[in-house]
């Protein structure tokens, strides 16, 4: 029941707008009175139910098109519905003020040292109370080894998080003085603080990287969803843990920010809370100067099925709303655009009186007895701890839907003439003396003029009420946040011997490496210890890759189970969905699948559970499509397998340009903790897969492995046991020169092109009497990294013997001309040129746009078939002076 009486409810602001030209005001009044009575006696849920039934009944009869996705421009939670605030507001505002100052001082000090460093003041100025309400009363930290809440922090507000950690004693003054000076900090005995949240740079502090706009919201949704997945599979007891995401209103323009809203609602991900900081400004100007971003976002989220809570006006406005019997305030707000709101936020009380409250007699009457100073103190809901707490408490207790809190704030709040509400505030990094003193006075900081001028950091005394309260609250909430933990128990994995059957080869039977990999994945899933931790992920391509055998065996995850009888229920491999299903079937969404892969790949940190995510997809739609997400995965030390299937530019021949991948291995080589492999056969996979799984699940290496597999059926060669080490270093000799003949040229190839190299070697011998070795390169990037490491070591330590790159060790003892070829652009094999020790090297690749045709035609077109490898071998020999020009001309 509502604690208000019908009389207090019966005039909802804005509902009886005289501008609506009501034909029968008396009838309208009766309906409103009835609604007020229902709310008072039966509660808002009952009222909402009746309204829904009325609209449903009216729609076919009178064509009602009422939209319920927007509400008046007021707070969702009325003052009588607010819970009592659990803290001392005055005391907690002093804590907020201390954090504000230290965040500002950190950025300004850094830019006094060097204007190159940058940083942001205005974003945290607008979100300080939002963060602090969470830190004091809502963010649960890790308790007794159990993980706490997961929090995605708005990246430009990172200085505020550092400033609070300083108050908590987690960071020192020297650390704050080295904000954005990570390289220089160690020499000063300090810890450098990264510009934005970066787990790679601060692995015990930040949980998630959010600096690339749009990726934070997407990842937050999938992290919350994966927490539900683990619960439904009985791998985790999440309890009341939440995923909190703090994002900016401008960030919501990124397509990734809103791409998965319906998934969160559809799957009832009610452990998720978005807090959108609606300060109405992005980097250059207003987010929606000619509109209202709050209303737009409310409609977007509500339409997607989210619970929406608006926190627009602070407690100072409550008295005005209580006086506003005619609904003048909501009507005025509805008629305004954000450009006007922004201008008002940048002006004083007198300006606000003249340009807002004097718009109508009703508005003017509301503040007739108020001073300009009182009007100036009217603040937005996102700066009011009590209003924020009410919203957060409602969000935490809401069930069945994710929640978004739309909190209206002022960008640069408290910066006065230096930045509050100004279009230039995002770029503001330096404040002059008078502006700093004004900031001190505005927030009542106990700093002398000299301390302000020196930008001294300020921490209240340990025995002060502020510090005792801050410490007690975080202890009560379970401990410090953000905090990244890495205490997952290692998981035993099957040994290399479990993969012997694939190393033995297939004889004459033609098999694709995709099929072989799926067989290995199935074996991993069936392993008693590792199996439950494997998370197969597909983006609507399981049947393409032959994974449908797993549908029945381990099921497809569906939080509501399977509420229908599938069309193929009678078949052996029917489409089986269940609440405890293991496969994550993401539909046509590589970004969503990759976000799930990240959630699983970081579970060792977020949940203390080592998981093995395996995302298999068309290789063209990985690094090329969601490369930014892969970079974010690398930053947060995700562990798992990415499997680019139908890989290369010529194996998926008929699909054409958009589907054919010639660059993923080039991009993968740029990600420092990605180990990329382009195996040619099942035997190589049988060496690489257990090696990768061992490193990820048992050794806990902060890396991930990218494997490319093809859909071309070929007889699979046997791989000798003594080749394993070479395979893992990056290359091994697959075919020696014909017996009794010294090798004259070497053919290095990877993946799909190895079979072409084998044929080319045969033709060189048969047609030209030239002996060739064939080397299978399992990883061009591993060879290149080894070479660069050796090169750097010799550059830095010239007095020491020069280390020899591995590729040179294998080839340099007998330097021969060589050909290096792959199904990717030539830049991929070019990575190793400097380290081969070869007198001449010719590279072949699939540069350019793809085509649709047969594999043979495609390989001839891109000049990577056996015929062109023969020509390249003859060219390399001529360049090495092992063949005269006229001999080569005669040969071709």
pLDDT tens-digit map of 594-608: 999 999 999 999 999
Instruction: For residues 768 and 535, give the distance between their C-alpha atoms in angstroms, rounded to a whole number.
Output: 51
CA atoms within 13 A on the CB side of 658: 1
pLDDT in tens, 751-769: 999 999 999 999 999 999 9
Q: Are 753 and 821 in contact (CB under 8 A)?
A: yes
The radius of gyration of the chain from alpha carbons, rounded to an integer in Å, stands at: 32
Residue 58 has pLDDT above 80, yes or no: no
Mean pLDDT (the chain) is 94
CATH among 3.90.550.10, 3.40.50.970, 3.30.70.20, 3.40.50.1000 for 89-314+379-476: 3.40.50.970
Residue 160 has pLDDT above 60, yes or no: yes
If you average pLDDT over residues 60-65, what whole number do you get? 63
pLDDT in tens, 318-332: 999 999 999 999 999
Residue 656 has pLDDT above 50, yes or no: yes
Instruction: For residues 552 and 242, give the distance between their C-alpha atoms in angstroms, rounded to a whole number.
Output: 32
Residue 15 has pLDDT above 50, yes or no: no
Instruction: For residues 610 and 620, give the distance between their C-alpha atoms in angstroms, rounded to a whole number.
Output: 28
Residue 123 has pLDDT above 60, yes or no: yes
Which residue from 209, 215, 217 is spatially nearest to 263, judged by alpha carbons? 217
Superfamily of domain 496-547+583-715: Thiamin diphosphate (ThDP)-binding fold, Pyr/PP domains (3.40.50.970)
Residue with tokens 């360049």: 879
Residue 11 has pLDDT above 60, yes or no: no
End-to-end CA distance of the chain: 92
Which DSSP string do the residues of 142-168 spell out, in sequence order?
-BTTB---EEE--GGGHHHHHHHHHHT
Q: Are 547 and 536 in contact (CB under 8 A)?
A: yes
> For residue 465, which phi and psi values (nearest 5 degrees)?
-60, -35
What is the model's pLDDT at position 668? Answer: 98
- Per domain, the residue ranges of the chain are 6-66, 89-314+379-476, 496-547+583-715, 554-578, 730-891
Q: How many CB atoms lie within 10 A of CB 335?
A: 11
What is the model's pLDDT at position 16? Answer: 44
- Among 110-114, 288-292, 394-398, 445-449, the least confident range: 110-114
Residue 18 has pLDDT above 70, yes or no: no
H-helix or E-strand spanning residue 597: helix 590-601
If you average pLDDT over residues 849-871, what whole number do you get? 97
Q: How far is CA 108 from CA 40, 101, 446, 484, 524, in A?
A: 53, 10, 19, 28, 53
What is the model's pLDDT at position 183? Answer: 97
Extract the tokens encoding 533. Answer: 């931790």
CA atoms within 13 A on the CB side of 438: 13
> For residue 308, which phi and psi values (nearest 5 degrees)?
-115, 130
pLDDT in tens, 399-435: 999 999 999 999 999 888 888 888 877 777 788 999 9
pLDDT in tens, 770-800: 999 999 999 999 999 999 999 999 999 999 9
Instruction: For residues 597 and 219, give the distance between their C-alpha atoms in angstroms, rounded to a whole number.
Output: 10
Q: Are 324 and 13 in contact (CB under 8 A)?
A: yes
The distance between the two most distant Cα atoms of the chain, rounded to a whole number of Å, is: 108
Q: DSSP label at 193?
A: B
Which residue from 821, 807, 805, 808 is spatially nearest to 873, judged by alpha carbons? 821
What is the model's pLDDT at position 890? Answer: 80
Residue 60 has pLDDT above 80, yes or no: no
Residue 5 has pLDDT above 90, yes or no: no
Instruction: For residues 679 and 494, give the distance between their C-alpha atoms in angstroms, rounded to a whole number.
Output: 20
If you average pLDDT over residues 90-119, what whole number do you get? 95
What is the model's pLDDT at position 17? Answer: 47
Extract the tokens encoding 640. Answer: 């798992």
Residue 3 has pLDDT above 70, yes or no: no
Instruction: For residues 531 and 527, give the distance between their C-alpha atoms in angstroms, rounded to a whole number.
Output: 5
Q: Are 806 and 733 in contact (CB under 8 A)?
A: no
If you average pLDDT over residues 353-374, what whole number do you get? 96
- The three-class DSSP label of residue 113 is helix
Band of pLDDT at residue 66, cut at 50, 70 and 90? low
Residue 581 has pLDDT above 50, yes or no: yes
Residue 14 has pLDDT above 90, yes or no: no
Extract the tokens encoding 24. Answer: 């029968």
Residue 436 has pLDDT above 90, yes or no: yes
- Among 68-72, 706-710, 714-718, 834-838, the least confident range: 68-72
What is the model's pLDDT at position 130? Answer: 98
Please determine, looking at this structure, whether the domain spanning 730-891 carries the CATH number 3.40.50.150: no
pTM of the predicted model over 0.85: yes
Which DSSP string do the residues of 549-587 spell out, in sequence order?
HHHHHH-EE-TT---S--TTTTSTT---EETT--BEE--
Q: Are 108 and 431 in contact (CB under 8 A)?
A: yes
**Which residues, other chains included, contact 269 with Cβ-Cβ below 8 Å and sequence gap of 6+?**
221, 224, 225, 228, 263, 402
Residue 112 has pLDDT above 70, yes or no: yes
Q: How far is CA 611 from CA 68, 333, 382, 499, 601, in A?
A: 41, 50, 38, 21, 6
What is the model's pLDDT at position 750? Answer: 99
Q: Are 737 and 771 in contact (CB under 8 A)?
A: yes
H-helix or E-strand spanning residue 311: strand 307-311
Q: What beta strand segments (E) does 394-489 contain?
A: 403-408
Instruction: For residues 37 and 108, give the distance between their C-alpha atoms in angstroms, rounded to a whole number.
Output: 56
Band of pLDDT at residue 21, cut at 50, 70 and 90? low
Extract the tokens encoding 715. Answer: 């007889």
Q: How far is CA 136 from CA 141, 276, 473, 475, 803, in A?
A: 11, 19, 6, 10, 55
Residue 68 has pLDDT above 80, yes or no: no
If you average pLDDT over residues 567-590, what whole number do you get? 95
Which residue from 130, 124, 251 is spatially nearest to 179, judged by alpha carbons? 124
If you average pLDDT over residues 504-520, what whole number do you get? 96
Q: DSSP label at 185?
A: G
CATH topology agreement for domains 496-547+583-715 and 730-891: yes
What is the model's pLDDT at position 889? Answer: 83
Residue 12 has pLDDT above 60, yes or no: no
Residue with tokens 């202890």: 475
Beta sheet of 243-248, edge-to-edge order: 150-152, 243-248, 272-278, 403-408, 307-311
Instruction: For residues 208 and 186, give the distance between their C-alpha atoms in angstroms, rounded to a whole number.
Output: 23
**Which residues, other chains included, contact 708 with Cβ-Cβ below 8 Å and sequence gap of 6+?**
619, 643, 644, 645, 647, 648, 661, 664, 665, 676, 677, 678, 679, 751
Report whether the peptide linkage leading into residue 835 is cis, meaning its omega lies within 30 degrees of zero: no
């Amino acid at each position: 029941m509502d604690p208000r009486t019908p009389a207090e409810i019966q005039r909802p602001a804005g509902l009886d707008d005289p501008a609506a030209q009501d034909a029968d005001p008396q009838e309208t009044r009766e309906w409103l009175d009835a609604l007020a009575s229902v709310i008072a006696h039966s509660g808002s849920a009952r009222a909402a139910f009746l309204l829904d039934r009325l609209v449903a009944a009216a729609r076919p009869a009178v064509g009602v098109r009422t939209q319920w996705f927007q509400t008046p421009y007021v707070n969702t939670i009325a003052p009588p519905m607010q819970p009592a605030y659990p803290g001392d507001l005055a005391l907690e505002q002093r804590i907020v003020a201390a954090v504000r100052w230290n965040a500002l001082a950190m950025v300004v000090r850094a830019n006094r040292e060097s204007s190159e460093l940058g940083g942001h003041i205005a974003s945290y100025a607008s979100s300080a109370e939002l963060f602090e309400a969470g830190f004091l009363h809502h963010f649960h930290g890790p308790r007794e080894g159990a993980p706490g809440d997961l929090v995605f922090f708005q990246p430009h507000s990172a200085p505020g998080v550092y400033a609070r950690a300083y108050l908590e004693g987690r960071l020192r003054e020297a650390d704050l003085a080295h904000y954005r000076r990570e390289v220089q900090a160690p020499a000063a005995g300090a810890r450098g603080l990264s510009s934005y949240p970066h787990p790679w740079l601060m692995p015990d502090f930040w949980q998630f990287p959010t600096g690339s706009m749009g990726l934070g919201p997407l990842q937050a949704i999938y992290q919350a969803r994966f927490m539900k997945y683990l619960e439904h599979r009985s791998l985790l007891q999440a309890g009341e843990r939440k995923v909190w995401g703090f994002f900016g209103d401008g960030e919501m323009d990124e397509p990734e920010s809103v791409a998965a809203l319906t998934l969160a609602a559809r799957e009832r991900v009610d452990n998720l809370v978005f807090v959108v900081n609606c300060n109405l400004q992005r980097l250059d100007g207003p987010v929606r100067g000619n509109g209202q971003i709050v209303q737009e976002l409310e409609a977007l989220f509500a339409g997607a099925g989210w619970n929406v809570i608006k926190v627009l006006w602070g407690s100072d406005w409550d008295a005005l709303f209580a006086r506003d019997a005619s609904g003048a305030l909501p009507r005025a707000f509805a008629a305004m655009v954000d450009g006007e709101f922004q201008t008002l936020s940048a002006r004083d009380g007198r300006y606000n009186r003249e340009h807002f409250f004097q718009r109508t007699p009703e508005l003017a009457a509301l503040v007739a007895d108020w001073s300009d100073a009182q009007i100036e103190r009217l603040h937005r809901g996102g700066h009011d701890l009590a209003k924020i707490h009410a919203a957060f408490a409602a969000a935490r207790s809401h069930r069945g839907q994710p929640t978004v809190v739309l909190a209206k704030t002022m960008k640069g709040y408290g910066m006065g003439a230096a930045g509050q509400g100004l279009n230039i505030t995002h770029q503001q990094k330096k404040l002059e003396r008078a502006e700093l003193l004004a900031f001190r006075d505005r927030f009542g900081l106990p700093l002398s003029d000299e301390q302000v001028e020196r930008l001294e950091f300020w921490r209240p005394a340990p025995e002060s009420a502020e510090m005792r309260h801050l410490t007690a609250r975080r202890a009560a909430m379970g401990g410090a946040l953000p905090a990244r933990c890495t205490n997952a128990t290692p998981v035993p994995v099957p040994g290399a011997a479990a993969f012997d059957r694939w190393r033995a080869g297939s004889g004459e039977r033609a098999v694709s490496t995709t099929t072989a990999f799926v067989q290995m994945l199935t074996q991993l899933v069936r392993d008693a210890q590792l199996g439950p931790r494997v998370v197969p992920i597909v983006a609507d391509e399981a049947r393409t890759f032959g994974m449908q055998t797993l549908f029945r065996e381990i099921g497809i995850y569906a939080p509501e189970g399977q509420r229908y009888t599938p069309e193929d229920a009678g078949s052996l491999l029917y489409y089986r969905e269940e609440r405890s299903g293991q496969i994550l079937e993401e539909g046509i969404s590589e970004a969503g699948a990759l976000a799930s892969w990240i959630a699983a790949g970081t579970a060792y940190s977020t949940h203390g559970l080592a998981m093995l995510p395996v995302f298999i997809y068309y290789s063209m739609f990985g690094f090329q499509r969601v490369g930014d997400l892969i970079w974010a995965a690398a930053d947060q030390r995700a562990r798992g397998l990415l499997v680019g299937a139908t890989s290369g530019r010529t194996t998926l021949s008929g699909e054409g340009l958009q589907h054919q991948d010639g660059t993923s291995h080039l991009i993968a080589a740029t990600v420092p903790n990605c180990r990329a492999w382009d195996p040619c056969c099942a035997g190589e996979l049988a060496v690489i897969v257990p090696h990768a799984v061992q490193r990820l699940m048992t050794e806990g290496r902060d890396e991930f492995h990218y494997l490319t597999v093809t859909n071309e059926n070929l007889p699979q060669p046997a791989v000798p046991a003594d080749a394993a080490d070479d395979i893992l270093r990056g290359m091994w000799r697959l075919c020696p020169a014909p017996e009794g003949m010294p090798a004259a040229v070497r053919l290095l190839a990877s993946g799909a092109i190895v079979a072409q190299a084998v044929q080319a070697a045969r033709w060189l011998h048969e047609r030209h009497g030239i002996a060739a070795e064939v080397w299978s390169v399992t990883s061009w990037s591993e060879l290149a990294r080894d070479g660069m490491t050796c090169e750097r070591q010799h550059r830095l330590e010239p007095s020491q013997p020069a280390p020899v790159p591995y590729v040179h060790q294998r080839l340099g003892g007998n330097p021969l001309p060589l050909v290096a070829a792959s199904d990717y652009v030539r830049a991929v094999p070019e990575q190793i040129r400097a380290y081969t020790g070869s007198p001449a090297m010719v590279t072949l690749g699939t540069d350019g746009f793809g085509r649709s045709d047969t594999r043979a035609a495609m390989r001839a077109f891109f000049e990577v078939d056996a015929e062109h490898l023969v020509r390249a071998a003859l060219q390399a020999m001529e360049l090495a002076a092992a063949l005269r020009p006229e001999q080569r001309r005669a040969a071709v």
